[in-house]
Amino acid sequence: MSASKRKPVLVVGLGRFGGAVAGTLSKMGTEVLGIDSNRQKVQQYAADLTKVVEVDCTDGYVLRQLGVADFEAAVVAIGSDIEASVLTVLALSELGLTNIWAKANNDRHARILERIGATHVVFPEQRMGERVAHLLNERLLDFIAFGDEFAIARLCAPEPIVGLPLEMSACRRKYDVTVVGVKRAGKAFIHAVPDTLIFPDDELVVSGKIKDIERFAAI
């Protein structure tokens, strides 16, 4: 979808997570209404977002007055104050929003949020913690897991496949990973094809089971 067609988004809570969501959306050209009860946060984001309001978002009446019922998507980015997070999701759900993303602190918090109307619950700290654990393997440069088993990773080309075209190194057959893309120093990523030759400083984007990617990175 092009930026101009993106629907306006409500971001409640402009802490580190909410601020990053709101700022990124804004940079992509999406209209963002940011809400925070903290004046400093409101001032901090006033120039970057379409509109920023200083209110207590647990008050359904105030949210209605702000016209939040017209938003198709909302992000509730309050983690530390679980009561405020729950009351806000409930208020948005009662106002009829059907696309509510909410940040959770733990599994119990997540289950409550899902029960009361959150459609997507995210755990930014846990996910980042898991990623860092994988990235401590210094051959892995980036890592995104999909569930417990599957991942996509960016890694330095392992030495045994350097100097060979991909079809000769047979990564899928030998190591159970698929090389999706290749980045050569100073050049853009290219899609990997059978005759892509791997150079010593290439970075690869590979997909596969987590254990297979870890094994491949260490060959």
- Under the rule (CB under 6 A), what is the footprint of ligand ADP? 13-18, 35-38, 41, 56-58, 77-81, 84
In the numeric block, the tokens 């940040």 are attached to 103
Residue 185 Cβ vs ligand ADP, minimum distance, rounded to whole Å: 35
Backbone phi, then psi, for 201, in 5-degree steps?
A: -100, 15
Residue 15 Cβ vs ligand ADP, minimum distance, rounded to whole Å: 2
Judged by beta carbon, residue 36 or residue 202, the one nearer ligand ADP is 36
Judged by beta carbon, residue 9 or residue 35, the one nearer ligand ADP is 35
Determine the 3-state secondary structure of 184 from DSSP. coil
Amino acid at 1: M
Judged by beta carbon, residue 63 or residue 192, the one nearer ligand ADP is 63
In the numeric block, the tokens 């997507």 are attached to 120
Mark out the alpha helices in 66-209 (DSSP H runs). Answer: 82-94, 107-115, 124-135, 166-169, 171-175
Judged by beta carbon, residue 62 or residue 180, the one nearer ligand ADP is 62
Tokens of 25: 């959306």
Cβ neighbors of 96 (< 8 A, separation 6 or more) are 69
d(C-alpha 202, C-alpha 7), whole Å: 39
Residue 29 Cβ vs ligand ADP, minimum distance, rounded to whole Å: 23
Determine the 3-state secondary structure of 62 from DSSP. helix
Judged by beta carbon, residue 14 or residue 213, the one nearer ligand ADP is 14
Residue 66 Cβ vs ligand ADP, minimum distance, rounded to whole Å: 12
Residue 144 Cβ vs ligand ADP, minimum distance, rounded to whole Å: 20
Which of 133, 87, 86, 88 minimizes the C-alpha distance to 105?
Answer: 86
Residue 54 Cβ vs ligand ADP, minimum distance, rounded to whole Å: 8
Number of Cβ within a 10 Å radius of residue 173: 7
Judged by beta carbon, residue 13 or residue 208, the one nearer ligand ADP is 13
d(C-alpha 132, C-alpha 142), whole Å: 9
